[in-house]
Chains A and B, each alone.
Chain A
């Protein structure tokens, strides 16, 4: 079956530092999605990527769709305490299912 590997599993950083996380898949997909989940809430879409090589920013967040169409990364610059949460990558399969990565738990020390 399709597999999606996300790393790192968790990060503990100092406020102001930059953060990078990535996902790789075993198959080629047409869309990469990045979500953030605050404790006790549903995931919120951060960035959607639709084209290989695409680089998209949303404020301090930047995500790229890998050229091979099998990977993507998310960068957060100048982290702040409210960046704390779980970040998920996700892919939409051609059967309609959404496949999630295992998540990256981010903690930011003020």
Chain B
């Protein structure tokens, strides 16, 4: 089945450690996104990528890093510089602006990853 797969679902991190969240999609989508969600709050954009080997900072990029070496993959690293990393992280993808149709405006989400700093 086509879709977006995030792993792990639950992750515990010690303070001072970097961790990487995986996001893989087999939808042949050009664009991929990472969002952060805190309890009872909306979604905030961390990074997004419109095409392979290119990505842009979102609204809360500090303390995070990404790479886009393959179309299917957009891993997010939460670095030790992120002061409050405990949150729910969501990956998403869409067809992308370079093949923009009406359906290209639709974005699909993975099931999310819970990160807790202990």
Answer yes or no: are A and B bound together in one complex. Answer: yes
Residues of chain A with a CB closer than 8 A to B84's CB: none
State whether A92 touches B107 (Cβ < 8 A).
yes
Give the contacts of B93-118 with A (CB-CB under 8 A): 94, 96-97, 102-103, 105-112, 114
Instruction: Report if B74 contacts A (CB, 8 A).
Output: no
Interface size on A, as a range, is: 20 to 34
Closest to A51 in B: B102
The interface size of chain B toward A, counting residues with CB under 8 Å, comes to 29
Q: Which of B4, B43, B48 has the most CB of A within 10 A?
A: B43
Cα distance A97–B32 in the bound complex, in angstroms: 10
State the total of A-B contacts with C-beta under 8 angstroms. Answer: 62
Contact residue among A40, A50, A103 (Cβ-Cβ distance under 8 Å from B105): A50
Binding site for A on B (CB under 8 A): 4, 6, 31, 33, 40-43, 45, 48, 50, 58, 88, 90, 92, 94, 96-97, 102-103, 105-112, 114
Q: Which chain A residues have a beta carbon within 8 Å of chain B's beta carbons?
A: 30-31, 33, 35, 40-45, 48, 50, 88, 90, 92, 94, 96-98, 100-103, 105
In whole angstroms, how far apart are the Cα atoms of A42 and B96 in the complex? 20
Q: Which residues of B contact A92 (CB under 8 A)?
A: 94, 105, 107
Tell me what chain A mostly uses at the interface: helix, strand, loop, or mixed.
Answer: loop
CA distance A97 to B48 in the complex (A): 8
Query: Within the assembled complex, what's the spacing in Å between the Cα atoms of A96 and B88?
Result: 22
